[in-house]
Amino acid sequence: MAHSSAVVAPAGMTLVGDTPFDIEAAREAGAVAVAVTTGIYAAQELQHADKVYNSLLDFARDLLK
């Protein structure tokens, strides 16, 4: 049986996280960086994300618009 692995290109993908490290990972992968202030980092510390939300619910509401 042949083994194949699928590779997903990050273009058009979004990484959601709550740390500056998550934002950095998104940038390195070429994905859109979305931050939520649900962790220990304040919005100011996450300002380098493409978009910052106060909660996952706010993010979900924005997706449904």
Domain boundaries of the chain, sorted by first residue: 14-55
pLDDT tens digit sequence for 5-64: 556 666 689 999 999 999 999 999 999 999 999 999 999 999 999 999 999 999 999 999
DSSP 28-57: HHTPEEEEETTSS--GGGGTTSSEEESSHH
pLDDT at 12: 81
How wide is the angle at C-alpha 19 spanned by C-alphas 16 and 60, nearest 5°?
30
**Is 2's pLDDT higher than 70?**
no
Look-up: residue for tokens 């990050």? 10
